[in-house]
Amino acid sequence: PDIAYDPPPDAASAHVRAARVLADNWTGGSTVPARSLYPHQWSWDSAFIAIGLRHVSPLRAQTEMETLLGAQWDDGRIPHIVFNPSVPLDAYFPSPDFWRSSTAGRAAGAPRTVQTSGIVQPPVHALAAWLVHRADPGLSRARGFLTRVYPRLAAWHRYLLHRRDLGGGGLASVVHPWEQGMDNSPAWDAPLARVTPAPARTFRRADLDHGSPEDRPTDLDYGRYVRLAADYRDGGYADGGGAFAVEDPAFNALLIASEQALARIARELGATGSARQARAERLTAALIERTWDPARGIFLCRDVRGGGLIPERCVSGLIPLLLPTLPRDIADRLVRTAHGPHFGLGGTTRLAPSYDLLGEAFDPHRYWRGPAWFNTGWLLERGLRVHGEHQRAGALRAALLELAVASDFAEYVDPYTGAACGATGFGWTAALTLDLLH
Ligand code: 9WN
């Protein structure tokens, strides 16, 4: 029980306002992250959104996951964007004519009828599917929800564990910064420096029509994102040969949490789930062996191409706290790191910054180079609770709720002041607010 948490007096109005954001962003089969900046369906956004949506409408939450999984490729990948055909091409870059999924992705089994990107995002989906089921098991069973999503989620994990084990140590690699979801994290600076940027005149950044340039990645970053994505596309989206390959602790911790959720789903469907449980344990051991830095007390990213750990403290390195099976000493160290000078929780910051407060690249407003995000806050809150840190979890939960509402459900906030940055009415901020309220 969360004994330290007192619901704020206006919990009911927070619920109503968050639910309204999700209603406004609903398109009929899925939810957009933000109406103007992100007008399509995004993979990990949808998983977080479903986790909140289940408190408002378990049916819509199930539909959200089903729409996303309906765009899965035959090789098992779940694309990071499922495009809405009624949105104009120039509303978001890169658009379907850049990815050309149904032609360039044919060998990898891209769907013919729906247009998608060709890269992936963090595997939060099985965790989301399990939580959505639990919100209304009767409806879920009546609709055969888990029976239908289980084989797709299993194929997704198979893709990540086999085609994406580029480092050969059992972990999944990301092949593009957009895949890990923290686009311009300082962890990517070194591996990205090896990538020749595409010339700026070859593309047009639609994001700058809506977002302030100081809050967004730079043009140089974009040149490199475009080069990497175009090379991947031109290779038919085959895995193995790209210039960028990184093992990220958050991506892999979410894979492990989702593998544990798949074990529960398997049990619910009458299997034992024990092979999945064993795999989750092996993955946890690999995560520790390959990315834990005992001196810094945080997990680091591993640059598979350049060989070695990237010595930057990012919030992704705290996310493995989410895992109940993490050894006690490592969990304790992570809690101390989160509440120490580099992340400032319970002290200088309101929410954990996306990057080291003392790091050279720290910038409190630029996207994933300092601002605090609500999905990582939600994951840390869960991690604190799982490891018995109820007081600290309660404090973090209160701050998340207060700042989400005060910022009008901002995409991200200044970690010191809580001032809103990026889009407002942002899907996962509203959804995870709803989840924290329940
Ligand atoms: C590129 C949708 C997505 C999030 C990512 C976030 C941002 C896209 C962009 O928006 O990325 O995928 O255009 O910047 O970094 O985590 O899923 O909300």
Phi then psi dihedrals of residue 346, to 5 deg: 75, 5
CB within 8 A of 5, min separation 6: which ones? 393, 394, 397, 398
Helix (H) or strand (E) holding 392: helix 390-406
Residue 334 is predicted with a pLDDT of 98
How is residue 349 annotated by DSSP? B
On whether the CB atoms of residues 194 and 303 are closer than 8 A, the answer is no
Question: What's the CA gap between 347 and 345, in Å, rounded?
Answer: 5
Phi then psi dihedrals of residue 373, to 5 deg: -115, 150
Residue 12 is predicted with a pLDDT of 83
Question: What's the CA gap between 424 and 168, in Å, rounded?
Answer: 41
Q: What is the rounded average pLDDT for all residues in the chain?
A: 96
Q: For residue 236, report the distance from its CA to the centre of ligand 1, in Å.
A: 23
Q: What's the farthest any 2 CA atoms get from each other in the chain?
A: 56
Q: Which of 64, 136, 179, 183 is catalytic?
A: 183
Average pLDDT estimate for 1-12: 60
Among protein residues, the one whose CA lies closest to atom 16 of ligand 1: 181
- Given the CA of residue 44, which atom of ligand 1 is nearest to it? 17
Q: Tens of pLDDT along 185-200? A: 999 999 999 999 999 8
Average pLDDT estimate for 36-46: 97
Q: For residue 141, report the distance from its CA to the centre of ligand 1, in Å.
A: 33
Q: Tens of pLDDT along 97-146? A: 999 999 999 999 999 999 999 999 999 999 999 999 999 999 999 999 99
Q: Tens of pLDDT along 270-288? A: 999 899 999 999 999 999 9
Average pLDDT estimate for 387-395: 98
Where do the H-state alpha helices sit in 249-387? 249-268, 274-291, 328-338, 374-386
Residue 1 is predicted with a pLDDT of 43
Indicate the pTM of the whole model.
0.97
268 vs 50, 57, 153, 261, 418, CA distance in Å? 20, 22, 15, 11, 41
Model confidence at 239: pLDDT above 70: yes
Q: Tens of pLDDT along 318-346? A: 999 999 999 999 999 999 999 999 999 99
Question: What's the CA gap between 100 and 240, in Å, rounded?
Answer: 20
CA 413: distance to chain centroid?
Answer: 17
Is 183 labeled as catalytic in the residue annotation? yes
To which residue do tokens 């890169």 refer?
Answer: 94
Average pLDDT estimate for 360-388: 97
Residue 398 is predicted with a pLDDT of 97
Q: Which of 40, 92, 116, 178 to mutate to test the pocket of ligand 1 (most atoms within 8 A of CB)?
A: 178
Model confidence at 388: pLDDT above 50: yes
Rounded to two decimals, the ipTM of the complex is 0.99
% residues pLDDT > 90 (the chain): 94
Model confidence at 218: pLDDT above 60: yes
Q: For residue 395, report the distance from its CA to the centre of ligand 1, in Å.
A: 28
Residue 49 is predicted with a pLDDT of 99
Average pLDDT estimate for 201-212: 90
Residue 214 is predicted with a pLDDT of 87
On whether the CB atoms of residues 37 and 211 are closer than 8 A, the answer is yes
CB within 8 A of 364, min separation 6: which ones? 353, 370, 371, 414, 415, 416
Model confidence at 4: pLDDT above 80: no
Residue 422 is predicted with a pLDDT of 94
Average pLDDT estimate for 258-277: 96
Residue 307 is predicted with a pLDDT of 79
Model confidence at 356: pLDDT above 60: yes
Residue 27 is predicted with a pLDDT of 97
On whether the CB atoms of residues 79 and 116 are closer than 8 A, the answer is yes
Where do the H-state alpha helices sit in 339-389? 374-386
Helix (H) or strand (E) holding 52: helix 43-53
* Ligand 1 surroundings by CB, under 6 angstroms: 33, 38, 42, 44-45, 80, 178, 181, 183, 207
Q: For residue 411, report the distance from its CA to the centre of ligand 1, in Å.
A: 10
Is 411 labeled as catalytic in the residue annotation? yes
pLDDT band at residue 8 under the 50/70/90 scheme: low
CB within 8 A of 14, min separation 6: which ones? 8, 401, 404, 405, 433, 437
Given the DSSP bridges, would you call strands 309-310 and 298-299 parallel, antiparallel or unpaired? unpaired
